Structure 1
């Protein structure tokens, strides 16, 4: 329980905080972290390490809530036995264990084989990645984006982008699904938490978002302002309706954070189910020039 108390203290919340308060607090801390990294780039690693501890506390609280939910489920199942509830639960587990004892042994053997294969595959994957050229651009699709076949293979998407940029040798893609923010579906709430953790750990160079995802985190220091570009080299390629703006919560000023590239013919070649495509560049990326080139080439190919 002391560890749980410490986790809540690290999050800056009381122990009776709701799940919604917990998620909102984590989002706020992530935004503040990205903003501080932007202001103090020389301390970026130190700030990131501190945020990693916050993420650890956040995940610990979620795990603890799941454990309590399991205990409540067991209470409903065995509570009718009152003082004998513990004995009933142990008896139930005993018969379950020995009923499937043989199957359990087979499963353990299967797990050991799986671990051995996984280690081998992991080593092979490390060797394969070591032989690959450096990444020219990493892209995260953030929002309601799906593979046409319903799978998770992103290689066709990476190949499609590489075909559009023959001067590049390697592109990586990540699809991070964000459900509707006003949904009351528990599954959507879990997906939102997953998306939040992915955002906290993955650092792509370019975000392609829908409006829902941008409203969630787009103007919270995740992507950088694009005024210089839309008033410079991109000026002839954009209209005011194509600019996605937000207000910087630190100074209250409005900025352009993303550009609508949905009208690009190149977007039609990307094998992703989509309704909107707003492109924004991650604050602090080392591939800033390639991210700008991506946006510019897509805008030049507008219908």
Structure 2
């Protein structure tokens, strides 16, 4: 069977499906996977393995679409030569190849050196991570968040959280950018694809989302309902305005999937540029208690 046809069949789509249909289908399958894992926890690993095959199919289709786009560019570039288009392309590639042949050899040496250094660095990183204490909480900022200093280092955010929870030894933080959902910018579309793939592979304990990110995935099974906490230990710490609700797309029931923690002094201590902070707990996390503690203390520090 043709590999492209097989990939589309695995996605449950016809081969003439649009890019938007492909992305929507992948999002739906990811949501269904999380739902199945909740209903059948004993099959969670098997279901995850099945979804990984869907992810491979999705990435294969995207890569093939990129290849076709390159072919179309070549056609536009060399099509004017008509039946000699192939010869023109090969000639162009020939001169381009020898023009950069020497540079290519130098680059190859550089790549080999980089690989060797990367192997040593990877081994050193493995040893460093093995020497660290177990992770107490994994936090993902999902949306248009940025470091206050504009850099890429997330260590200051991790240190700020550890300072707030001195009983913890280690916190890891990641940032997953989600662009405006109504954007027509091709770069934003690519960033949305990247965010989707990150969500399908990474498993933080706590999501901190802005409004755009929550509207995208907040009620799709990624985070669990919080009614038990909202009506229990958090009851006296919350106002109705802090409840971030959503509709379960499977049965139409309404739930609280996150709470707004922006109006707290602890949130202001984080070196993060933000406009919304909706905190939700990942469905099935083994560090659920610590995720609850994080939210509880942020609510207690609300103004």
User: TM-score w.r.t. structure 1 length?
Assistant: 0.99
Deviation by residue 1:174-202 (Cα, 9 ceiling, x = unmatched): 10000111111111100000000000000
**Alignment match, 1:77:** 77
Give 3-state SS (helix, strand or coil) of 1:98's partner.
helix
1:272 offset after TM fit, Å? 1.1
Which residue in 1 is equivalent to 2:136?
A: 136
Following superposition, the deviation at residue 151 of structure 1 comes to 2.5
CA distance in 1, matches of 2:301, 2:83: 73
Residue 149 of structure 1 aligns to a residue whose secondary structure is coil
Query: How far apart are residue 285 of structure 1 and its match?
Result: 0.3
After superposition, the C-alpha distances for 1:207-230 in whole angstroms (9 at most, x for unaligned) are: 000111111011011000000101
Deviation of the 1:89 alpha carbon:
0.7
In 2, Cα distance between the equivalents of 1:86 and 1:170? Answer: 58
Secondary structure of the 2:221 match is: helix
1:143 and 1:73 map into 2 onto residues whose CA distance is 34
Q: What does residue 195 of structure 1 align with?
A: 195
Partner SS for 1:175: strand
Is 1:88 matched with 2:88? yes
Distance in 2 separating the partners of 1:150 and 1:69: 34
After superposition, where does 1:146-161 map in structure 2 within 5 Å?
A: 146-161=146-161
Which deviations, in whole Å up to 9, do the C-alpha atoms of 1:54-91 show, x marking residues without a partner? Answer: 00000000000000000001111111111111111111
Partner of 2:246: 246
The residue correspondences of 1:97-108 to structure 2 (distance < 5 A) are 97-108=97-108
- Residues 260-271 of structure 1: matches in 2 within 5 Å? 260-271=260-271
Match of 1:51 in 2: 51
1:19-39 CA deviation, whole Å, 9 max, x = no partner?
Answer: 000000000000000000011
2: distance between equivalents of 1:179 and 1:160? 26
Distance 1:35 1:12 in 2: 18
CA distance, structure 2, for counterparts of residue 224 and residue 77 of structure 1? 52
Deviation at 1:149, TM superposition (A): 3.0
Q: Secondary structure at the match of 2:84?
A: helix
How far has the Cα of 1:153 moved from its partner?
A: 1.1
In structure 2, C-alpha distance between the alignment counterparts of 1:248 and 1:100, rounded to whole Å: 56
Partner residue in 2 for 1:8: 8
For residue 269 of structure 1, report the CA deviation from its aligned partner: 1.1
Residue 215 of structure 2 is matched in structure 1 by 215
**How far apart, CA to CA, are the structure 1 residues paired with 2:132 and 2:169?**
9
Secondary structure (helix, strand or coil) at the match of 2:138 reads: strand
- Distance (Å, rounded) in 2 between the aligned partners of 1:55 and 1:247: 26
Cα distance in 2 for residues equivalent to 1:222 and 1:292: 16
Worse-matched range after superposition: 150-159 or 120-129: 150-159
Give distance in 2, aligned partners of 1:213 and 1:130. Answer: 33
Task: Give the unaligned 5+ runs of structure 1.
Answer: none
**Gapped runs of 5+ residues in structure 2?**
none
C-alpha RMSD over aligned residues? 0.8
- Identify the residue that residue 281 of structure 2 maps to in structure 1: 281
Partner residue, 2:38: 38
User: So what's the TM-score if we normalise by structure 2?
Assistant: 0.99
Number of matched pairs: 303
1:82-121 CA-to-partner distances (Å, cap 9, x unmatched) read: 1111111111111111111111100000000000000000
